[in-house]
Amino acid sequence: MRAATQVFEGGFTDTVLNSQEVFRALMDAMANPGRVISVGDLTAAPSPLSSVAASIAATLFDHDATVWCDKPIKTSEAVIGWLKFHTGLELTGDPSNADFALISDIESMPSFDAFAKGTSEYPDRSTTIILQVSGFDGQQELTLEGPGIKDSQTFAPSQLPRLFVEQWVGNRDAFPRGVDLIFAGGDALAALPRTTRISKKEA
């Protein structure tokens, strides 16, 4: 009974105001790569979906959104039920067909090449990948450069995909095609659009 109740509970208390707040944070994050923006606990989705990731989903997903979820999320009936109830999303088992991807287990996620990168004519037909992380105080510091960044920006999410820098170089080389990343932390979010240049911070 509790699992069934979780499906209907935990959404935005004020759908319009909360979604506008998260959308503004996302736009700020995309315009300023690597900037960590606080959003707080606006939702209470079932585990393993975090509050920030759920808030992003509730803001960006709708019945026209095709979403790929990793195994911990897609095997949770409560999470999938919550997402369907609060967003109306369409699920896909093919990451290359996804408008969005929800990743809770970064260590075992597919490579960026598995997701849609759009086309030269329609680069927007690519996947925006939402990565759940614990926070933004990780041990591996990255140096970011590019549009929206004055000089350089340090960025250190707590988790990163395998061979992240190497994968990102390939992703950026495909510009204007390529995936974009949104990091959903414990109480904040950040973003890396495909235009960002990334390198490991020198000691």
- Portion of the chain with pLDDT greater than 90, in percent: 86
Report the pLDDT averaged over residues 73-99. Answer: 96
Inform me whether the pLDDT recorded for 89 exceeds 60: yes
Distance CA 152, CA 98 (A): 31
Of 40, 86, 39, 45, nearest to 67 by C-alpha is 86
Inform me whether the pLDDT recorded for 2 exceeds 60: no
Is 3 or 82 the better-scoring residue by pLDDT? 82
pLDDT, mean over the chain: 93
pLDDT at 156: 96
Residue pair 111/166 in contact by the 8 Å Cβ criterion: no
pLDDT at 155: 97
Question: In CATH, what number is assigned to the domain containing residue 71?
Answer: 3.40.50.11310
Q: Which amino acid, one-letter code, is at 135?
A: G
First to last CA, the chain: 53
Report the pLDDT averaged over residues 25-42. Answer: 95
At residue 85, the 3 state secondary structure works out as helix
- The domain in which residue 14 lies consists of 2-200
Of 162, 163, 157, 161, nearest to 140 by C-alpha is 157
